[in-house]
């Protein structure tokens, strides 16, 4: 297993743990909104810096 695949797996696990934590705290809507905002921002910056 390479370092990149290990890193990807760790990021996926961290994302799932964050989702589970948001469910426990009742802040799922905030988390979804922040993920969406981050995705939109990343795409916008990607278009600028091609």
Confidence of residue 50 (pLDDT cuts 50, 70, 90): confident
pLDDT at residue number 41: 97
Structure-token pair, residue 3: 């370092």
Number of compact structural domains in the chain: 1
3-class SS at 49?
coil
Phi and psi torsions of 46, nearest 5°: -65, -35
Quote the pLDDT of residue 1: 81
Q: Is 90 exceeded by the pLDDT of residue 21?
A: yes
Domain that holds residue 22: 3-48
Q: Report how far apart, in Å, the C-alpha atoms of 26 and of each of 11, 16, 20, 29 are.
A: 22, 15, 10, 8
């Amino acid at each position: 297993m390479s370092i990149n695949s290990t890193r990807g797996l760790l990021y996926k696990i961290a994302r799932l743990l964050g989702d589970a934590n948001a469910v426990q705290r009742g802040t799922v809507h905030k988390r979804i909104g922040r993920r969406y905002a981050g995705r939109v921002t990343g795409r916008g910056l990607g278009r600028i810096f091609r």
